[in-house]
Amino acid sequence: MGRAVLRRSVQMVITLWLVSILGFVIIQLPPGDFLTLLESQLEEQRLSSAQIESALTGLRARYGLDQPVYVQYLRWMSSLLRGDLGYSMALRADVNELLSERLVLTLVISFAAMVFSLALALPIGVYSAMKQYSWADYLFTVLGFLGLALPNMLLALILIFLAVTVFNASTIGGLFSPEYITADWSPAKVLDLAKHLWLPAFIVGFSSTAGTIRVVRAQMLDTLGEPFIQTARMKGLSENRVITRHALRVALNPVVSGLGLSLPGLISGETITALVLGLPTIGPLLLNALFAEDMYLAGSILVILSGALVVGNFLADLTLAWLDPRIRLVEP
Amino acid sequence: MEHSRVHNTNNNGRGGQPRLVLEVEDLYVSFGGYRGRTRAVNGVSFQIHQGEILGIVGESGCGKSVTALSLLKLVPMPPGRIDGGTISLHTDDTTVDVTALAQDSREIRAIRGRQISMIFQEPMRSLHPMFSIGDQIVEILLQHFAMNRRQALDKAVALLERVGLPEPARVVHEFPHQLSGGMRQRVMIAIALACEPQLLVADEPTTALDVTIQAQILELLQALQAEMGLAVMLITHDMGVVAEIADRVIVMYLGEIVETASVDQLFTNPQHPYTQGLLRSIPNWTDQPKTPLHSLAGAVPELLDLPAGCVFVERCPFADKVPGLRKPSLIETEPGHFVKCWLYTEEFVHARP
Amino acid sequence: MAHPEPANPREEAAHVPSGKTEAAAYSYWGLIWWRYKRNRIGVVGGIALLLLYALVLPAELTAPYPLNERHTGFLDVPPQFIRFISPDGRFSPRPFVYGLKQERDPETLRRLYVPNEEEIYPLRLFVPGEESWTFLGLTWDRHLLGVESPGKLFLLGTDTQGRDLFSQLLYGGRISLTVGLVGVALSLVLGGIVGLISGYLGGIVDDLIQRGIEVMISFPSIPLWIALSAAIPAEWNSIQVFFGITVILSSIGWGGLARVVRGMTLSLQNEDYVKAGRINGATTWWIVTRHLFPGTLSYMIVAATLAIPGMILGETALSFLGLGIQPPMVSWGVLLKQAQDITVLAHKPWLIAPVFFLTVAVLSFNFLGDGLRDAADPFSGQ
């Protein structure tokens, strides 16, 4: 097992490195020089030429813009690894400050969506499999197809639409009650967040819930047809025990390994949902960075998000190996 | 198992008739489908006595496995349904009709694995892939006996040794994918016999195994059966396996018993045209080289398409000489030898070749 | 002992289809088609898509009004109902719409449009428009459905600039639905080639390619699309932007397709007929073009069909955020941009209509893809 973990860790580090390179390529993609653009922007803001010059020199030194590309990459990477993202001229804010809270909220929402979708999909999937072809099974199948066809963005729009046309609401979404938006973190604020979390979690988790129901149902049906289930029944175990201890254990495997793979979709869905609902998470920040043409910030955000995903995937794989002796014990 | 409870207390003395373990009477089982109900078992009756190996043979789809699963009420319901008949299980002091028990009831679960056990065709898939061998044996012991885990694990090691696995103390911690097919079937046998049941149902236990391993598993079954005074119901499509270890044979076709006899009677004097066909399709090394292998004409009709009268009428070489559209009944042609065929009634004796 | 009722099994079996061995007579593609036709949901998806494309591709003909035509004096008009019952309560075999008259909400003083029951405009087919249009070299001045001047036909209402939403939807659908097709075609070519190479060559090349694809898949798609679309130069015209967007969409989509093709190639290589070809001295080119490519083609088509909805939605997301298709070109995402604001939706709920069309399109592609997958799977057991 130890060697397998080591192998997988090395693989993860290589993937992370490739991710950072791709992120850097994206930073370099837009035509034109980042600094010239910034200069003209700063001029519009009526800063003195000395101020502009010092800001530009600072940036040049920071990103090594007057040096070869690989030096630029190394500087950017080292600052990223040190967790120091500097000051965004374009957004005129300290990036660390901007990013940390939003990143945490993004992960909280995505994680809540995942928990929400599992909590819903597991029992429904199992029930659908046990009562195959019942009316409830058909109902969930239809819901599942809807989930496929209604990605987060459309779902968010429809919910807004319903809120204003049916419920006459004037606002929807948000993560905090007005009095907590600017407040410092406190237990009361966390509680307030928890109260507001369900809607974004529902929207982000909806399509993956639908997908997970389908996977769980199919897996349960496959597993229930396996001879080892007959063996379990033959032993005199109760049907409850056969399902929970014998069938679920096997049926859940692909679901767990699918969790890692569903993460990019969840984060992706969170960004767009945040944009539609105006949530204070990474999505709007990324869009602002792009509109302000601060490619360094945009690239860093992308790499941080993807890095979180790669690590998440790694953890999902470890969980799977821990759950399944067939993987745990076979050294590839 | 050391004291062989079953063996000692239940044999009604030397020379007496062995104790009746299970009695199936007029069993009907069907399955619902979108094209209508399929009748899988049609009025099957038989008995199994202690210490006896009863072979059930027939082509796939003849209802052997459904009959076997019915004994434990393991036929999936729905779509399956027991339409009629009784399955009486005789234990020391009581008789239970299995058909009357609900599928997940405490009563039937007390029978499963404790009174009647079953092993299946594919040892590769019959063991849970994610539990250790020990856990899988311990589970059935804890289900039926009051003992702690430690005792159960010790017993599991003893059982593994009993079924001939090398290094049982190591195997008990291994997982199914680390064992070969033959070893897994031995583990299945250990699980099935862990609680010393009266009856072991073996559904094609050797079909998925290599020929050499097949022989070993059959030997093991025979040895354990003799040792424990077990009743065994052996389901197979392989006449060779039947000849080797069965005492009595039931030949099934399309959900009905067409012939039943002792193994000697059946092989020396097969009576039903279907049995005759089956026996003739076994290759024989005394045959002249290049003799074409006999095969039964036609194919098993779909169960939905059951012939109305004699089940074998569509493939029977004598169909034009008998009233095949009427159902024959089971006739005793010699002591203990029954056949369901018009050719053995007085009326149609002349039609026999 | 009660015997079960002796139902006659022959009767129950009477409606078994006679052509049970029909499948055996078909070629490979014929078999796929035969199996697809038996999948009702898949067929529904296919037909819905055919209708949708037939409606949006010749938008010049099918839309009542030209792209971006502004109807001055008809801003924010709600959808008109098509009516069959005339004001005097009689059934009119020819459907009609009422004219529109302007009123003001007595409280909010907002401008409102209400049906004017004194003006009746029957719906007509092939109504002449104000200007003639040209599509694929064909010039004509008629529109499939409309009413005669001075009547107006706003099936889904108009937007703030007085543009007919239904017409905009058809033009926008043409862009949205072709983005998916072109994008998938691009990723199919790229993914097919890379997948074949990866699977056929194996070894270190395969390792490198697989790692690379893993990296691409580990990026969350929408943020990556957003970042990439920022790289599209501002001075590009709308056609260039259209192709830029398709390239961006397919730049991520090909990874999944390449994986499918690689997996198929790997398993096909172990097939006896491929081994036999190799032993008999077939060239790499021969094996790839004669065995591997045709063998993976059906799976590529299935994977491609299932990838199209993602591309359509990707374009919608980008355009919705203002990073995708640029005016004067419209797409469903561009149209939805108007519906972003909660207060706008409260007053003009009809602007949500593109969501409905998107859902139908995405669902249909999923149905079609599922149907094709089941049909292409030789073990689907039908």
Residues A123 and A79 in one domain: no
Q: How far apart are CA B259 and CA B40, in angstroms?
A: 17
Model confidence pLDDT, tens digit, residues C195-243: 888 888 878 888 888 888 877 777 788 888 888 887 787 778 888 888 8
Chain centroid to CA B261: how far? 15
Q: What is the domain-level CATH number for residue A131?
A: 1.10.3720.10
| Residues A130 and A212 grouped into a single domain | yes
Query: What per-residue confidence (pLDDT) applies to C11?
Result: 36
| Nearest CB to B35 within list C7, C10, C13 | C13
**Is residue A272 located within the same domain as residue A152?**
yes
Is there a contact between C10 and B37 if contact means CB atoms under 8 Å apart? Answer: no
Last residue of some domain: A66, A94, A122? A94
Average pLDDT taken over every residue of chain B: 83
CA distance B38 to chain A (A): 19
Gyration radius from chain C CA atoms: 27
* Whether residue A148 sits in one domain with residue A66: no
The Cα A72–Cα A62 span in angstroms is 9
The span from the CA of B5 to the CA of B13, in Å, is 14
Q: Select the highest-mean-pLDDT range: A80-94, B296-310, C38-52, C363-377.
A: C38-52
Q: How do residues C301-341 score in pLDDT, each as one tens digit?
A: 888 888 888 888 888 888 888 888 887 888 888 888 887 77
Last residue of a domain, one of A50, A70, A94: A94
CB contact under 8 A, A230 and B74: yes
C-alpha span between A84 and A78 (Å, rounded): 9
Residue A313, classed as helix, strand or coil, is helix
Q: How far is it, in rounded angstroms, from Cα B221 to Cα B217?
A: 6
Domain span at residue A27 reads: 2-94
Residue C10: pLDDT over 70? no
pLDDT higher at A79 or B257: B257
For the cut 70, the answer to whether the pLDDT of residue B15 exceeds it is: no
Kindly state whether residues A60 and A113 are assigned to the same domain.
no
CA distance A249 to chain B (A): 8
Q: Which of A15, A172, A283 sits opposite C215 (nearest CB)?
A: A15
Question: Are A214 and A311 in a shared domain?
Answer: yes
Q: Quote the DSSP letter at residue C267.
A: H
pLDDT at B304: 63
Strands B199-203 and B20-31: unpaired
3-state SS, residue C98: strand
pLDDT in tens, A23-81: 888 887 776 666 666 676 666 666 677 777 777 777 777 777 777 778 888 888 888 88
pLDDT at B249: 93
Q: Are residues A211 and A308 in the same domain?
A: yes
Of residues C13 and B147, the one with the higher pLDDT is B147
Length of chain A in terms of residues written: 332
User: What mean pLDDT do residues B227-256 have?
Assistant: 89
**Amino acid present at A41:** Q
The answer to whether the beta carbons of residues B96 and B114 sit under 8 Å apart is no
* Cβ–Cβ gap A160/C231 under 8 Å: no
Percentage of residues of chain A with pLDDT beyond 70: 87
By the 8 A CB rule, do B90 and B83 touch? no
pLDDT at B156 (0 to 100): 92
Q: Which residues pair with A109 in a beta bridge?
A: none
Residue A172 banded pLDDT, cuts 50, 70, 90: low
The pLDDT of residue A327 is 63
* CB contact at 8 A, B258 and B252: yes
pLDDT bin (cut points 50, 70, 90) of residue B248 is: very high
Residue appearing with tokens 């036609």: B298
pLDDT reported for residue A12:
85
Secondary structure class of B261 (helix, strand, coil): strand
Q: pLDDT tens-digit profile of A106-118?
A: 888 888 888 888 8
CB-CB contact of B281 with B315 (8 Å): no
| pLDDT greater than 80 at residue B58 | yes
- Position B3 scores a pLDDT of 43
Measured between beta carbons, the chain B residues lying within 8 angstroms of C17 are none
Nearest to B218 by CA among B241, B250, B195: B241
**Can you tell me the mean pLDDT for B254-268?**
89
pLDDT band, residue B13 (cuts 50/70/90)? very low
Find the mean pLDDT for residues C264-279.
Answer: 80
Give C12's pLDDT tier (boundaries 50, 70, 90): very low
Return the closest-CA partner of residue A302 out of A26, A64, A114, A104: A26
State percent of chain B over pLDDT 70: 87
Number of compact structural domains in chain A? 2
Maximum mean pLDDT: which of B220-229, C6-15, C262-271 = B220-229
- Whole-Å CA distances, B240 to B68, B121, B244, B274, C45: 20, 17, 6, 16, 54
A82 plus A108 within the same structural domain: no
- What is the tens place of the pLDDT at every residue in C234-261? 778 888 888 888 888 888 778 888 888 8
Q: Please indicate whether residue B258 or residue C374 has the higher confidence score (pLDDT).
A: B258
Nearest Cα residue in chain C from A292: C230
Check whether residue A259 and residue A275 sit in a common domain: yes
Which residue of chain C has the CA closest to B30?
C4
Residues of chain B by 3-state class (helix, strand, coil), percent to 5 = 35, 25, 40
Is the pLDDT reported for residue C9 higher than 80? no
Rg (CA), chain A: 24
Mean pLDDT of C162-185: 88
Q: For B123-146, how does the pLDDT look when each residue is reduced to its tens digit (9 = 90+)? A: 888 899 888 999 999 999 999 988
Nearest to B126 among A227, A238, A239 (CB): A227
Question: What is the pLDDT of chain C when averaged over all its residues?
Answer: 78
Q: Which pLDDT does position A32 carry in this prediction?
A: 60
Nearest-CA residue of chain C relative to A11?
A: C211
Cβ–Cβ under 8 Å, residues B190 and B169: no
What residue ranges do the domains of chain B occupy?
Answer: 265-351
Residue with more model confidence, C267 or B293: C267
A182 and A162 assigned to the same domain: yes
Does A136 share its domain with A211? Answer: yes
Of the residues A72, A94, A116, which one is the last residue of a structural domain?
A: A94
- Whether residues A170 and A274 share a domain: the answer is yes
List chains adjacent to chain A, taking adjacency as at least 3 C-beta pairs closer than 8 Å.
B, C
List pLDDT tens digits, range C130-151. 777 777 777 777 777 777 777 7
Strand B256-262's sheet: what is its strand order?
Answer: B116-119, B199-203, B231-236, B53-57, B248-253, B256-262, B337-340, B330-334
